[in-house]
A and B are shown apart, each in its own frame.
Chain A
């Protein structure tokens, strides 16, 4: 059996807007990836533990609440504590451009803005995971 790219799509924190996350999950599935969808209101602990147990290649964080600079550092810290800094983390949702630099310094590989074609995300993941 061939190796498949496995992605965790998670929505951290208090944020009920899951349309975007579901669209991405479906898009990645249709691109041939195995997508674990964890649902709404996940804590950093839940997200990292799921990523570890599922042994994913990529975590996709969708956030529209504005709490990214608060929640993402905690996720990255826990990934490091779990010895899984090798898992790539990408983000999307409503994330002001002024924050992108800070998130990249934190280790987030890419921040996708609303309107990004799914093909672009697929391409990015395929390139990163290879």
Chain B
């Protein structure tokens, strides 16, 4: 089955869960057939609307995701979820735990949840995330949620994929300097202060409102700050409504097209970096002589700049 690309494509289009799941694995593992499949998909499939949900660990992203999906389900929308957790740099393994908070939607036939590890070995974005978006789109999902922990550049790159990015934080997340440092403040289209029953939640809302009011003056979109309590199901319909408003804003200002082109550019950069890593950098790192270079630089016999020029003689 997995050898017949036309058949694979047709089964994904029909919504065959086994095949969708296996196609995602093929892409994740970088198999030859996965590549062939993606070449066909890129030329034929328009990506569904992508919503990124990001924020610090424990802020309630998965619970909010579940709640938003439940509202979309009432409108009969099909939703694909890509729940991303980090790969350990030490073991290469990953603990993917977002399903724990999505039990209420895990048997809904029109919801597909896929957990994914960041994998990317030498920095850079795992290109299979966007490929999975396209596989879900081919399968007819109306919305795709990309959920990721919001710390570090890698995660910012992931949420930049999304058409609308929802940044989730909690009242305890610290003062405005902490919030600003996190950097993700700059990419949020909608801000959510979850756990509104906790002390100081209104203060956090005000802090973020102030922060976002400094954002690009010439941009027409003013990010809203929404107070929610995901467990008690409060404020969720506001998020859903603001996602729709942001979608309309992107369409009205022809920005959706622009975002999609940015995503394609990012994907190109990913693939070039991946090729560079695999074809050039990895063989150098794995060469048995590589540790010698380090020794020599440590012993002051060489410097890293000349060594790299020697190892990678591009000009």
Contact = CB atoms under 8 A, between A and B. Distances in A.
The listed residue with most A CB atoms (<10 A of its CB), out of B20, B93, B113, B119, is: B93
Interface in B1-60: 17-18, 20-22, 24-25, 28-30
Interface stretch (B97-105, B202-210, B229-237, B300-308): B97-105
Interface residues of B, number: 34
B262 interface: no
B99 A37 contact: yes
Interface of A is mostly: mixed
A28 interface: yes
A64 B186 CA distance: 47
- With most chain B CB atoms within 10 A of its CB, the pick from A6, A43, A82 is A6
Interface string B78-90: 0000000001101
B76 interface: no
B17 A52 contact: yes
A18 to B, nearest CB: 10
Most chain B CB within 10 A, of A35, A55, A84, is at: A55
Contacts, number: 92
Chain A interface size, under 10 / 10 to 19 / 20 to 34 / 35 or more: 20 to 34
Nearest to B274: A1
B106 interface: yes
Interface string A30-57: 1111111111001101100110111100
A100 interface: no
Given A1-B119, A53-B17, A82-B18, A29 B107 contact: no
Given A1-B29, A30-B88, A83-B18, A53 B96 contact: no
B58 to A, nearest CB: 15
Contacts of B115: 36, 54
Nearest to A41: B103
A29 to B, nearest CB: 4
A84 B99 contact: no
A17 interface: no
Interface string B185-199: 000000000000000
A50 B113 CA distance: 8
Nearest to A57: B25
Interface string B111-122: 011110101010
A84 B21 CA distance: 12
A33 to B, nearest CB: 5
B253 interface: no
26 contacts: A1-B29, A4-B29, A4-B119, A28-B93, A29-B91, A30-B88, A30-B93, A31-B91, A31-B93, A32-B92, A36-B96, A37-B95, A38-B103, A39-B97, A46-B103, A46-B106, A49-B17, A49-B107, A50-B106, A53-B17, A53-B21, A54-B96, A54-B115, A55-B21, A55-B25, A82-B18
Interface of B: 17-18, 20-22, 24-25, 28-30, 87-88, 90-97, 99-101, 103, 106-107, 112-115, 117, 119, 121, 128
Interface of A: 1-4, 6, 25-26, 28-39, 42-43, 45-46, 49-50, 52-55, 82-84
Rank and list the top 10 A-B pairs by shortest CB-CB distance, nearest first.
A39-B100, A29-B93, A55-B21, A1-B30, A32-B92, A55-B25, A32-B93, A36-B96, A3-B29, A29-B95
